Amino acid sequence: MILQLKNIQQKKNGNKILKGVSIDVPEGSFFVLMGPTGCGKTSLLRIAGLLDSPSSGDIIFKGKKLTSRKKELLHTRRQIASMFQSPVMFRGSVSSNVGWGLKIRGIKKPEIASRTEKVLEFVGLSGFAERDASTLSGGERRRTALARALVLEPELLILDEPGTSLDPAFKRDLLKRIKEIHLQTGTTFVMATHDFTDALAVGTMGAVMRNGLIEQSGMMDDILFKPESRFMASFTGVRNIFPADFAGTEACVRQLTITHSGIKQGHGFLAIPPEVIVLSLAPNLTSERNRFNGTVKSIERNGTNWDVTVEVSDIPIIVAITTGALEELEIAPGTDIHLSFKASAVHVF
């Protein structure tokens, strides 16, 4: 592990911002810290970047527990670089901004010039070296800030909401560039975002925070496909979340019995991702263990796809289908329809 945060607590003005957070960041990973605004992501990142000291808890960098000794902190901080949500540009040119971190490390001018040129090309800012940093657009400022951090060749790069307030095209482009840099350099990245889609675009693993605590952590696929709580299911965009009474592999949602692949007893919740449900006009002869009849209640556009709400025994179930599938099925509100999904696709928590 390159970075381990153990039971981190942080108080600000008497409020507990972090209530005992622990994360392990493996070397070379792209670790994404997710969660809604105000859940403590930035506070945790500032501690990870050694910009703030926690009220309690341990920071372990490359296996060594850090103390509060200033010299040790500065030495470690120089192996980490942080890029903030709203990057601040120093007065002067783009190259002077990018080269500043090298200058204070005593690197000679010719080397600074060559490394600055290379890194600007790397982040897609060739030809920007002499531009006044105050004239840059939002996206260019972020790329400059990224170059300013990357040029230091840090072992750990921390990014706080790099895509915030950028228009979707710029954001996609920036995240794509960040991912490419991660793959090319092998540097460990820790990124905070409130947008789960951004996290999926770049992350290999991560943790979801809520109210100063970690709600769930692990590989991105597990976070996406195996939400462990109702909050997680909702955060990862899973719809069709229902309260249910469980008995082994069966769950009763009102009068509907749904089969799932886990074993659970008592009361809880289940979620059926709209993308895993198959619609058909005739009963489907498949191995799927959940097969129901229903009536189409509404059809609404959702981006490039469609959300079809099917009422099954008074329970509205949303099914996501493509435009092609919608045209093929020729359905409209009131159409009787069959839906099916696998037991393994049902999340229970």
Partner 1 sequence: MSHLFEAFSIALRMIVSGDPGVFSIALRTLLIASVSTLLATLLFVPLGCLINFSSFKGKRLAVGFVQTMYSVPTVFVGMLVFLMISRSGPLGGLELLFSPWAIILGEVVLIAPIITGLTISALQSTGKGLEDTAVALGGGRRTVILKVLSEAKYTMLTSVLMGFGRAVSEVGVAIMVGGNIAGYTRTLTTAIALGVGKGETAPSIALGLILLSLALIVSIIVNLLQHGGRK
Question: Which parts of this chain interact with partner 1 (CB under 8 A)?
Answer: 49, 51, 70, 74, 77-78, 81-84, 86-88, 90-91, 100-101, 104-105, 132, 134, 148-149, 152
> In this complex, which beta carbon is closest to partner 1, that of residue 23 or of residue 149?
149
- Tally Cβ neighbours within 10 Å of residue 107: 15
Q: How far apart are CA 299 and CA 307, in angstroms?
A: 6
Least Å distance, CB 114 to partner 1, is 19
> In this complex, which beta carbon is closest to partner 1, that of residue 6 or of residue 78?
78
Least Å distance, CB 79 to partner 1, is 9
CA angle 1, 59, 143 (to 5 degrees): 75
Are 76 and 63 in contact by the 8 Å Cβ rule? The answer is no
The tokens for 27 are 């070397």
Detail the DSSP E strand segments found in the chain. Answer: 3-12, 15-25, 30-34, 56-61, 64-65, 80-83, 156-160, 188-193, 205-210, 213-219, 241-253, 256-271, 278-280, 290-302, 305-312, 315-321, 336-341, 347-348
Least Å distance, CB 15 to partner 1, is 19
For β-strands 290-302 and 336-341, DSSP reports them as antiparallel
- Tally Cβ neighbours within 10 Å of residue 23: 21
> In this complex, which beta carbon is closest to partner 1, that of residue 2 or of residue 156?
156
Least Å distance, CB 102 to partner 1, is 9
Helix (H, G, I), strand (E, B) or coil at 275: helix
Least Å distance, CB 208 to partner 1, is 25
Burial class (CB in 10 A: 0-12, 13-18, 19+), 265: exposed
Least Å distance, CB 32 to partner 1, is 19
> In this complex, which beta carbon is closest to partner 1, that of residue 100 or of residue 225?
100
> In this complex, which beta carbon is closest to partner 1, that of residue 153 or of residue 245?
153
One-letter amino acid for residue 19 of the chain: K
Detail the DSSP E strand segments found in 161-304. Answer: 188-193, 205-210, 213-219, 241-253, 256-271, 278-280, 290-302
Are 247 and 253 in contact by the 8 Å Cβ rule? The answer is no
Least Å distance, CB 246 to partner 1, is 48
> In this complex, which beta carbon is closest to partner 1, that of residue 59 or of residue 81?
81
Q: How far apart are CA 93 and CA 103, in angstroms?
A: 14
Least Å distance, CB 83 to partner 1, is 8
> In this complex, which beta carbon is closest to partner 1, that of residue 51 or of residue 332?
51
> In this complex, which beta carbon is closest to partner 1, that of residue 86 or of residue 322?
86
